[in-house]
Amino acid sequence: MISGQDVRALLGKRIQFYRKRRHLSQAALAERAGISITFLSNIERGLKYPTSETLSGIVNGLGVEVCYLFQEAETPTENRSLLERFKKDITQNIHDTLEAVYKAYEE
């Protein structure tokens, strides 16, 4: 069961993620959303929860659908880590396969 605090924390992280992805400062997004930088900072840290009007201003300022802010997703760092692990596994599998093929031709 997800708590209200968990929802605030997730929402704050997702707003921050999209803000940074769009290379927006807190000041720029706060201006677009019609709120103070302090309030936006508190939302991003999960300390405050925006009203529906404020949330509408934030999503319009970010240029995303509101549903994206409530989806749990891996951070770019976690994605990069998973991709590196996948790349390593694939590279090892290809190497092992080629080794087996070469050995088969040598016999």
Q: What is the pLDDT of residue 80?
A: 62
Same domain? 65 vs 89: no
Q: What is the pLDDT of residue 85?
A: 64
Q: What is the residue range of 18's domain?
A: 1-72
Q: What is the pLDDT of residue 31?
A: 97
Same domain? 68 vs 78: no
Nearest-5° angle of CA 9, CA 86, CA 102? 175
Same domain? 29 vs 56: yes
Q: What is the pLDDT of residue 82?
A: 54
Same domain? 13 vs 38: yes
Amino acid occupying residue 75: T
Same domain? 63 vs 79: no
**Residue 60 to residue 55: CA distance in whole angstroms:** 8
**Residue 95 to residue 97: CA distance in whole angstroms:** 5
* Positions of the chain with pLDDT lower than 70, given as ranges: 1, 72-87, 89-90
**Is there a contact between 33 and 54 (Cβ–Cβ < 8 Å)?**
yes
